[in-house]
Chain A
């Protein structure tokens, strides 16, 4: 089946630790995105990539990093510099319509 696969579904981060969320798509889309969703708020853009080896900061990029070495993959690293990382993270890709993965829950312990 075509789609976007995010992993892991649930992740716990200790203070001062970096963690990486995986996102893979087999839709052959050039554009990929990472969004953060907090309760009662709309989706906020962290980073997006229009093409392999290129990406741009979104509205809330501080404390996050990404890479786009392959068209299919767009991993997100939540660094220790992100002071409030507990949230629901959504990966997406688009051509004419934006499609979303199933999301990953990140909790700081």
Chain B
């Protein structure tokens, strides 16, 4: 069964600190992996997209890694800001039109 699991379920950090979110997947066939940021009551917005051959990709303070052998991905947020408070969703594409969503990690950044 295709599955995407994210951890932790929720996380609270202080402003300025770094954090790492995890995504483990069992999806076949694997096409690519995306991280999205979703503010409460809004639609998800893409942060990064990674294909099978990519190990690391950055987007400003967000850095995603992918280990296709262990089927794990992480999203590292550097120097967190209050505006980083949101849910972060890992999405794995199993081919055209087929997307498997994780349940997300809810991040709260405190001043």
Contact = CB atoms under 8 A, between A and B. Distances in A.
Interface of A: 4, 6, 31, 33, 40-43, 45, 48, 50, 88, 90, 92, 94, 97-103, 105
Contacts of B60: none
Interface residues on B, range: 10 to 19
Contact of A102 (B42, B96, B103): B42
Given A41-B103, A42-B103, A97-B34, A105 B46 contact: no
A interface, over-half SS: strand
B104 A42 contact: yes
B103 A98 contact: no
A43 B42 contact: no
Contacts of B43: 4, 6, 90, 92, 100-103
Contacts of B102: 42
A98 B89 contact: no
